[in-house]
Structures are given as structure tokens and as C-alpha cells.
Amino acid sequence: MKLFVGLGNPGPKYAGNRHNIGYMAVERIAEDHGFGPWKGKFQGSISEGRLGSERVFLLRPETFMNLSGQSVGEAMRFYKLDSPDVIVFHDELDLAPGKCRVKHGGGHAGHNGLRSIHQHISPQYDRVRLGIGHPGNKNAVSGCVLRDVAKAHQEGLEELWRGVSGGAVHLAADDTSKFMNAVALRVNPPRSSTTTPKPKVEGAPKAPDPAPAVDTRNALQRLADKFR
């Protein structure tokens, strides 16, 4: 049994924000894999379903970002899970938009949602870091995460969701390598060859043989060439 947590802030005001990219990820998994309806529980909303053979609960804490750990802790204790059974999807400033990485344990790097989860369940949980890009100035970070995803990044984000959703079965099975492969195939698909041989057409007429070269030598030159 696994608990997938998508971080964000509740309400339509924040729905498209970069900070809500975790919400977007679990919502896409729920939609693509036929999870049950979202229900209010654990100071948030939760949806239940299966990914492969694994029973999975999707949780969107609705306590606001800096209190996310309250919701996660309640759900984890209710389902009698350990912190390694929890996988948190969150926005990551240090990755470019559309990029994704998996991290096992570690620090919170100043992320308020992760900081709160650390306090309630310990740091020993997995994270799916979803890139939003850094504004380049630490003083601009707060404004950056609370703005909507740029239109220029929407197409890349859609491919990221497809990869995350497609690889979610592997994530639930603790196979992060296969999960990352599924994401990479969507975000960076292999390039097809640009030189393809022309197909042969059955019954096509054969190209004529090239015309023989014309001998322009006179009789005397031809006779002289025989004795060289």
C-alpha cells in the first residue's frame, strides 16, 4: 500500500500556480488510472485506486503548503503506513520546467511543504521533484512559485504529466528506474531517422542503361592506338 501526496495550496486562486504542480501530478494519475472520486478527509482530499497490483491512496493536503505535514501524518497513521511508503510530488526550483527527478530521503532545501512533512513523519520518505525553474534571484522566489505556469512551458508540462502518469505503476512498485525511463520517453523521445530509403514499387519499369560513349577518333588515330 502506498500514499502518493501532491503538494499545493487549496482553492481556485492557486490552481494554476507553479507551487501547485504536485496537485496537478496526482490529479492526472487519478484521471488516467480510473481512481475513485475525491473525498474530504485528513484535512485534505483523498482518492483511492490501484496501480498494477498495489493499492494506492492519492492525497491533496488542503491545510496550505506550510502545514502539509498535518494532513500527511494523519493519513499515514490511519492507514498504518511507514514513512518509506509515502511518495511526495512537489515543485522544484533547482530543476528546469518539464524536468523530473526522484529523491529518497534527505533534506527539505527550504521547501515549506517538505519542512512540515519532515516535522510530522520524519525525512525518510520519497519525493518526485517536478521542475519549475529558478527565477535567478532568491528574493523573487516567493512571487515566482505563486504565479501560474508560463504558457511557453504548458506543452512541456503536458508531456511531463503523461510520463509521470504512465510510469506511476513502476513508482508504486518501488522501481524508480523504470519510472524515470517512462518520464524520459515522454519528455525526451528518441529522434527518428531523417534518411529513409525510397520504397521499391512493384512492376515499375527498369531504368534504361546509360548510352555508350561515342568514339570521336578518326581512322588514323584508331589504327595508331592499336599499336601502342
pLDDT digits (tens, 9 = 90+) for 160-198: 999 999 999 999 999 999 999 999 998 887 766 554 555
What's the confidence (pLDDT) of residue 207?
56
- pLDDT surpassing 90 at residue 221: no
- pLDDT surpassing 60 at residue 13: yes
Cell of 226: 592499336
Q: Decide if 134 contacts 109 (C-beta within 8 A).
A: no
Catalytic residue (one of 19, 33, 90, 170): 19
Active site residue 19: yes
**Where exactly are the structural domains of the chain?**
2-187
| Non-local CB neighbours of 119 within 8 Å, separated by 6+ positions | 69
Cα–Cα distance, 188 to 37 (Å, whole number): 32
Task: Indicate the CATH number of 2-187 among 1.20.120.530, 3.40.50.970, 3.40.50.1470, 3.20.20.140.
Answer: 3.40.50.1470
What's the confidence (pLDDT) of residue 48?
98
What's the confidence (pLDDT) of residue 216?
63
96-151 pLDDT, tens digit each: 888 999 999 999 988 999 999 999 999 999 999 999 887 777 777 777 777 777 77
